[in-house]
Amino acid sequence: MEFDSLNAALTSNSARALLSRNVFNSIIEYNPHVIALQETKLPCSGPSKKHSEILKDMFPDYKIVWNSSVEPARKGYAGTMFLYKEN
């Protein structure tokens, strides 16, 4: 899946964001133990409170860990996020 940013995928209503959310919904139907996302393009502080709330609503059974690029890398350039079930 490719999208402009995790922010867009979670909060935008653009055609591309809606496609990304459809992919998330498809993944949820498979009920995987681990979900890995790359190129989240989040700031080095990670997901905002709003993003965290949306992710918890979408993936209520998952713990979330993330890693974002830090300076001197380009701000919001890269990042990964893993969602996993503890049991």
Mean pLDDT for each consecutive 10-residue tract of the chain (87 residues)?
70 88 91 92 86 94 90 76 92
CA dist., res. 32 & res. 15, Å (int): 26
Q: And the tokens for 49?
A: 């409170």
* Distance between first and last Cα of the chain: 27
pLDDT of residue 69: 81
